[in-house]
């Protein structure tokens, strides 16, 4: 399970997502950046910043 907390990239944002695959976490995070933070162009540096903040978490029992 992978998890991303937007607040680690955008201070004050409490949005987060969790999915089995990193690709799904990335897709959701990019959608969030566009819809919530008004990012119209997602550059490679943004992708790298998101990817570096994705954490592996244990599945909740």
Whether residue 61 is contained in a domain is answered as no
Whether residue 36 is contained in a domain is answered as yes
Q: What is the dihedral of CA 61, 20, 16, 47, to 10 degrees?
A: 160
Neighbours of 50 (CB within 10 A): 22
Q: What pLDDT was estimated at residue 60?
A: 63
Q: What pLDDT was estimated at residue 58?
A: 84
Whether residue 30 is contained in a domain is answered as yes
Whether residue 44 is contained in a domain is answered as yes
Give how many domains the chain has, as a whole number: 1
Q: What is the pLDDT of residues 1-60, one digit of tens each?
A: 999 999 999 999 999 999 999 999 999 999 999 999 999 999 999 999 999 999 999 876
Phi, psi of 8 (to 5 degrees): -75, -15
Q: What is the extent of the structural domain holding 50?
A: 2-56
């Amino acid at each position: 399970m992978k998890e991303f907390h937007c607040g680690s990239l955008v201070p004050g944002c409490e949005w987060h997502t969790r999915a089995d695959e990193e690709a799904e976490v990335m897709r959701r995070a990019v959608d969030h950046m566009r819809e919530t933070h008004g990012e119209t162009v997602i550059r490679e540096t943004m992708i790298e910043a998101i990817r570096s903040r994705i954490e592996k978490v244990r599945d909740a029992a």
